[in-house]
Amino acid sequence: MGKDKLRKFRENEEMDNVVQPTTEEAIKGLHLKNHWAEKQFRNGQGIILELGCGKGEYTLEMARKSSRKNHIGVDIKGARLWKGAKSATEEGLKNVAFLRTRIDFIENCFGKNEIEEIWITFPDPQIKYNRAKHRLTHPAYLLKYSKLLQPGGTVNLKCDSEYLHGYTHGIIQMLGLETEASYHDIYAQIQPNEGILFDVITHYERIWLKQGKAITYLRFKLDGIENALKHWKSRG
C-alpha cells in the first residue's frame, strides 16, 4: 500500500466526520443507528444519503446548498472518502459526515425512517447477468433502502448507463411503484440546465461527457415495495 493512502487512512481516523465501523460492528448494528442526527450532528435535522459517494462531490454540494439538512456519503473506499471529509473539515461544514462501509450493511447502519432521501450517482452498472445482484438498484437493495426511507422519501439515480437506467425503471414499473421523473439525457431534455443535477459534475461525469455519453436520471419512491415484491414472487 502506498504512503499516500496510508496517510489518508490515518487522517480519516482523526476526522470527526468520518465513521469507520469494522465489519463485525456493521453486521451487529452501528452504534449510531437511529441516532445519527442526535449523536453525530447534534441537531434534529433530516438526513440525505449518498450511496457509493466516491470523493463526495454530491454530498458536499448538497450540504453547501441545504444547511438545514444533514448529509452522509457512504463508500467502502477510504482514500476516496478522505477527499470529501477533508474538504468538509476545511470548509467547516458541520452537516456532513462520511460512512466507510459496504452498502450490503446499510440497513444495519441506519434505522427505520431515518433517511429522507437517497442519491445513487454513477454506480457500476454491473451489466453481466451473473452480476445482477450487485447492482445498487437490484430489488434486494431497493428493499433495504425502503426500510431506511421515510414514507414518501425518494431515490435519485444519476448515471451514464442507459442499461442501468432502463433496468431500474423496468423494476419500478414491474412492482407498480411511483416514478417521479425519468430522463434519458438530462443535458438535452431539461432546460434550463439548473439545480443540483447540474451544479455538480463528478469526476466520472466529466469523463463520460467528454466521450459524448448521455447522462440519465431517474427519481422514484419505494412506498409499498415489500408487499409488491411478495406479490411478484408469489406469481413466479
User: For residue range 187-208, what is the model confidence (pLDDT) as tens digits?
Assistant: 999 987 878 899 888 888 999 8
Please indicate, yes or no, whether residues 95 and 176 belong to a single structural domain of this protein. no
Please indicate, yes or no, whether residues 202 and 171 belong to a single structural domain of this protein. yes
Please indicate, yes or no, whether residues 180 and 106 belong to a single structural domain of this protein. no
Instruction: Output DSSP code: residue 218.
Output: E
Which residues does 84 contact at the CB level (< 8 Å), separation at least 6? 53, 54, 55, 56, 57, 59, 60, 73, 96, 98
Please indicate, yes or no, whether residues 105 and 4 belong to a single structural domain of this protein. yes
CATH number at residue 80: 3.40.50.150
Domain range for 92 is 1-111
Catalytic residue among 124, 185, 199, 223: 124
Given pLDDT bands bounded at 50, 70 and 90, which one contains residue 1? low
Question: Does position 6 have pLDDT exceeding 80, yes or no?
Answer: no
pLDDT of residue 236: 61
Which residues does 224 contact at the CB level (< 8 Å), separation at least 6? 176, 177
C-alpha cell at 179: 416514478
pLDDT of residue 132: 93
> 3-state DSSP call for residue 15?
coil
> 3-state DSSP call for residue 176?
coil
DSSP string, 98-157: EEES-GGGHHHHS-TT-EEEEEEES-----SGGGGGGSTTSHHHHHHHHHHEEEEEEEEE
Strand partners, 117: 48, 154
C-alpha cell at 67: 444547511
- pLDDT-wise least confident of 13-17, 172-176, 190-194: 190-194
**Beta carbons of 169 and 179 less than 8 angstroms apart:** yes
pLDDT of residue 191: 82
**Beta carbons of 68 and 45 less than 8 angstroms apart:** yes
Asked which of 111, 139, 164 is the last residue of a domain, the reply is: 111
Which residues does 62 contact at the CB level (< 8 Å), separation at least 6? 48, 50, 69, 71, 119, 196
pLDDT tens-place string over residues 16-59: 999 999 999 999 999 999 999 999 999 999 999 999 999 999 99
pTM comes to 0.94
Query: In angstroms, rounded to a whole number, what is the distance separating the alpha carbons of residues 9 and 79?
Result: 7
**Beta carbons of 93 and 176 less than 8 angstroms apart:** no
Please indicate, yes or no, whether residues 191 and 233 belong to a single structural domain of this protein. yes
Given pLDDT bands bounded at 50, 70 and 90, which one contains residue 232? confident
Please indicate, yes or no, whether residues 164 and 216 belong to a single structural domain of this protein. yes
Whether 103 maps to a domain, the answer reads: yes
Provide the domain count of the chain. 2
Please indicate, yes or no, whether residues 194 and 101 belong to a single structural domain of this protein. no
Whether 91 maps to a domain, the answer reads: yes
pLDDT tens-place string over residues 124-142: 999 998 999 999 999 999 9
pLDDT tens-place string over residues 79-93: 889 999 999 999 999
Question: Does position 101 have pLDDT exceeding 90, yes or no?
Answer: yes
**Catalytic residue status for 16:** no
Whether 116 maps to a domain, the answer reads: no
Asked which of 111, 138, 167 is the last residue of a domain, the reply is: 111
